[in-house]
């Protein structure tokens, strides 16, 4: 009987710890599941007339052992034969960071957290490339995934593709948080 009480106490304490654990979470004041992108965040070019401003992002409760972060923004609905489009990739975001300011996704990345590095997106540019789905088609989904990494920096060549960076990011990820929204025109 004593071992059953010990087991019950252990299970109860484990459940209490798990219930109190904080969830790694990514949020934005600019968009979300119930808040589509405003036109200012959309791409300027390819028939789209946005201002290509990157949205603000913030996160909380990264897991223990996080040494850096990486962000990947993907449109799985793009008509690319299944590959989708990578809109923004940032690596080497320091573990001390908890946000990216609105408009920080410029080509030079000067307003990103110190030490962060952007990888060329599928618009063949460095920095944020906003949504630009085909006119008159159903809205596309945009998935912002922030990865908590167990390494301080990634060994990604300067000319790496988003897919190459994604492979290395996923190899080093210890957790991830995703925030999604839609945009159509």
DSSP 106-124: STT-TTSPTT-EEEB-TTS
Judged by average pLDDT, the poorest of 3-7, 22-26, 46-50 is 3-7
Residues 51 and 38: their CA atoms lie apart, in Å, by 10
Residues 51 and 41: their CA atoms lie apart, in Å, by 6
Maximum C-alpha span of the chain: 73
Per-residue confidence (pLDDT) for residue 82, from 0 to 100: 85
Per-residue confidence (pLDDT) for residue 19, from 0 to 100: 40
Per-residue confidence (pLDDT) for residue 12, from 0 to 100: 38
What sign results for the dihedral spanned by CA atoms 185, 89, 122, 129?
Answer: positive
Residue 148: alpha-carbon gap to chain centroid: 10
Mean pLDDT across the stretch 62-82? 95
- Is the per-residue pLDDT at 89 higher than 50? yes
Mean pLDDT across the stretch 86-101? 98
Q: How confident is the model at residue 77 (pLDDT cuts 50, 70, 90)?
A: very high
Mean pLDDT across the stretch 19-33? 85
Per-residue confidence (pLDDT) for residue 102, from 0 to 100: 98
- Token pair for residue 82? 């299944």
């Amino acid at each position: 009987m004593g071992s059953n009480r010990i087991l019950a106490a252990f299970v109860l304490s484990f459940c209490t710890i798990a219930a109190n654990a904080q969830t790694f979470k990514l949020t934005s004041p600019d968009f979300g599941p119930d808040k589509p992108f405003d036109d200012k965040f959309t791409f300027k070019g390819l028939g789209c007339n946005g201002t290509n401003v990157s949205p603000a992002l913030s996160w909380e409760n990264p897991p223990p052992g996080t040494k850096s972060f990486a962000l990947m923004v993907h449109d799985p609905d793009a008509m690319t034969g299944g590959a989708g489009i990578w809109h923004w990739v940032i690596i080497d975001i320091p573990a001390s960071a908890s946000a990216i300011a609105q408009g920080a996704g410029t080509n030079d990345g000067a307003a990103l957290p110190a030490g962060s590095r952007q990888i060329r997106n599928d618009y063949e540019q460095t920095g944020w490339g906003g949504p630009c789905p085909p006119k008159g088609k159903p809205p596309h989904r945009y998935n912002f995934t922030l990865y908590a990494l167990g390494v301080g920096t990634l060994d990604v060549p300067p000319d790496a593709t988003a897919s190459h960076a994604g492979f290395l990011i996923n190899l080093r990820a210890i957790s991830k948080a995703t925030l999604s929204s839609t945009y159509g025109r």
